Structure 1
């Protein structure tokens, strides 16, 4: 009993010491976060904040008088912060907002159940929410495992699914209660951002109405004008769902969604600029054909008109130049002219081709992937299924090797070599940074598809 009483007394003394120290630090630093961990702990800890799908390191701390201290003369921006070990592995999270002088107690497990915060009510609330959420997810995961085992028993799986729904509803109710109890706090803003918009029961089964409702109200609970939410792990997933699942993969639709999101930032420059950079990176080399138009739009309507963070004059110039390059080869644009030398020494253009469709094929006879693509293209060409001609642009300067390859493979289409030209370099004109690349033109030489495989050409033609 004496040992237990002694342990309690020591803990009380530590807490009292931390409270006094925190009070003194308030007058000395803009932020001061004291860490006291019992048991074995890392010799160096790192303080970082989320930033989109990455994190930014803002401070480091080492042991001094058995405690660690993050301190600084500039206030930290509000958000969810991570405490990392020297290997940059996450130990735990904490909220940082208005009150930036507080202390954290924990053992070396860094478990939410073992963490105690001194002088910061929001972190206490955040930690309790984390414990409740973890307990809920553990129960849900167990139920999912039971469903997998009972997947052939519909009655049991339906019952288990109802339990999962009840747990989910309970978590939402908990968050809504916390929001109501703590208005005006960052904690409440964060919890609200976690609550998904609920589709009204009367339209749930009507897919078109349910979709329209979700698209319209998707951001109701997530305040894009609050840059503190930028420093959380929530935003990347929200963006991906909105763009990938709620926005048709068409350039004009994507542009409309991006503009709407930027409008919701209400000129919050930090969030606005993050969104602009996020989408600029995504659509410079998009996975879906035709969405490079989004990159051009962002360059014209944002980089050219606004002061975007982390954009030096040279970076801005490169973005504008890239957009001007892509603008000429957007879907629906007339293909830029090429005058390249053929195997007889004459300069030839694809404009002389009079078929319904023209395939511009950029390739290299020493490229194995090109050879496979070439075989598929030759098969399509030889079967005469479509009224098309091929304008094959070789990127290899070995003229003899190129000519020998043409002869040995009986390539009877229009063969030209891109290394000898009377026009602008094809690499710049057609954004060719690797081979093979295929462009498909209609009879008016307008681009109707690009960066497709040879075995996709028929499908594209049939859709015209």
Structure 2
């Protein structure tokens, strides 16, 4: 009898020594693997990965393939926000809370956030129910506000007041129920600060939204800091709430929103992560002005111990040869003279071409460019040839008189080629007299079109 009791105790202890995260996606996807991360602000820490098992279920007489996966977390796993990622690009993940309990959920892989349903986990079921209920109530309130803006003559004060009261009542109910729960800070921070009365103009409505957007968010709360919540809200505020169709106005709004966001953050490591995150976001649209602004006015003012020199150097190198930048300088010898790009003064514009005698596209296009520019006195060509040795180059350059010819040995590993991020040849850069890059045409026809406009 004693041995049986010991066995039962051991089985029970083992059962509580680990937790399971079960997910089902319907339909399944082609990928075999899914990765689990712990989300900490703008960072993701790898936890483990697992294979997606394929099963099938019959829905309305048709068989549907399901993707099923399970993660096993040890007893000492940290409480916090986690992310199951099944696509490396796009919205290919499901976020959930882990608070020392099993978690089970199902979702559609094409729109996970809208479709996810939790079947196990008190914390996640509660928070998802809150989000659904508060969203429905908020949409009702917003629809009355929109109707009032579209039809100023309508008297909607009473229904707005009732909807406003309903939203606040739902929030109060969930806040009370969330007492002592891990998700309580999310419930507090998710609540919008809606005006108590109808606003009578779209401008005032948007101004109020911008002004009160962060009112409910505690940027010092560790639970929020160690999740994607604040990062997502910052993304909304910077890139969607503050919007203008005018390019110059938009740049100004970006800077104003960045200042407001960073003024909210007192946690220095988190501020550093957010600045790096914003730089990476602006990188996708090659917004060099904002990238420079973030480095010069915010990143470089962080404590030196926090700054990531590798990150800064990589980004600065990545954007060194983009439109709007002064072309990185390089030197060469020509007819016994030492020349450098920065000191050339023999043309109004320059066409810098990275090419190679071993590149078939180059051999076809380079003679065409030479013929096209033969009588053009305003544009001078700098032909930077990436070669393993100088044998073919020495002979070929003789067929291209009146150009500046530069030999770049080590081909793709050439230092200048790496500075210009040359991944293929031919690569074209059009410069003004100050060697500022004014265009990076993709093809020969684009080169001709741009030069024709000079």
Residue in 2 aligned with 1:260? Answer: 260
State yes or no: 1:418 paired with 2:416: no
Q: Give 5+ residue unaligned stretches, structure 1.
A: 1-16, 26-31, 38-44, 61-67, 137-169
Residue in 2 aligned with 1:189? Answer: 185
Residue in 1 aligned with 2:38? Answer: 49
Report deviation, 1:366.
3.2
Residue in 1 aligned with 2:438? Answer: 449
Q: How does 1:244-255 map to 2 (within 5 A)?
A: 244-245=239-240, 246=242
- Residues 370-420 of structure 1: per-residue CA shift (max 9 Å, x gap): 678868966874685x93322222222432323454456x57532322349
Q: Give 5+ residue unaligned stretches, structure 2.
A: 1-8, 23-33, 50-71, 87-91, 108-115, 137-161
Report deviation, 1:277.
3.4
Compared CA separation, residues 372 and 48, structure 1 to 2 (3 A):
same
Report deviation, 1:91.
8.8
Say whether the 8 Å CA contact 2:430–2:437 is kept in structure 1: yes
Compared CA separation, residues 270 and 407, structure 1 to 2 (3 A):
same
Say whether the 8 Å CA contact 1:392–1:416 is kept in structure 2: yes
Say whether the 8 Å CA contact 1:286–1:292 is kept in structure 2: no
Separation of aligned partners in 2, 1:229 and 1:279: 18
Residue in 2 aligned with 1:153? Answer: none
Report deviation, 1:114.
4.0
Residue in 2 aligned with 1:276? Answer: 275
Q: How does 1:54-453 map to 2 (within 5 A)?
A: 55-56=44-45, 70-72=74-76, 76=78, 79-81=80-82, 93-94=96-97, 96=99, 103=101, 112=117, 114-115=119-120, 117=122, 125-129=126-130, 176-181=168-173, 182=175, 187-191=183-187, 193-194=189-190, 201-204=199-202, 216-245=211-240, 246=242, 257-265=257-265, 267-282=266-281, 287-288=286-287, 293-294=292-293, 296-297=295-296, 301-302=300-301, 305-308=303-306, 316-319=308-311, 321-322=313-314, 335=327, 337-342=329-334, 347-350=338-341, 351-367=343-359, 381=373, 384=376, 387-406=378-397, 410=400, 412-419=402-409, 426-427=416-417, 430-436=419-425, 437-443=427-433, 445-449=434-438, 451=440, 453=442
Separation of aligned partners in 2, 1:306 and 1:449: 34
Find the residue that maps to 1:126 and give its secondary structure: helix
Separation of aligned partners in 1, 2:292 and 2:253: 11
Separation of aligned partners in 2, 1:383 and 1:197: 67
- Residues 411-444 of structure 1: per-residue CA shift (max 9 Å, x gap): 7532322349xxx95347x44453455444332x
Say whether the 8 Å CA contact 1:361–1:393 is kept in structure 2: yes
Say whether the 8 Å CA contact 2:355–2:386 is kept in structure 1: yes
- Residues 289-319 of structure 1: per-residue CA shift (max 9 Å, x gap): 555525743786146x3432xx7xxxx4434
Report deviation, 1:93.
3.3
Say whether the 8 Å CA contact 2:323–2:440 is kept in structure 1: no
Compared CA separation, residues 362 and 106, structure 1 to 2 (3 A):
closer
Find the residue that maps to 2:305 and give its secondary structure: coil
Separation of aligned partners in 2, 1:277 and 1:301: 11
Would you say how many aligned residue pairs link Structure 1 and Structure 2?
360
Separation of aligned partners in 1, 2:365 and 2:259: 38
Separation of aligned partners in 2, 1:107 and 1:323: 39
Moved more, 256-265 or 230-239: 230-239
Say whether the 8 Å CA contact 1:254–1:294 is kept in structure 2: no
Separation of aligned partners in 2, 1:93 and 1:52: 14
Query: Normalising by structure 2, what TM-score?
Result: 0.55
Separation of aligned partners in 2, 1:173 and 1:459: 62
Find the residue that maps to 1:274 and give its secondary structure: helix
Separation of aligned partners in 1, 2:168 and 2:362: 58
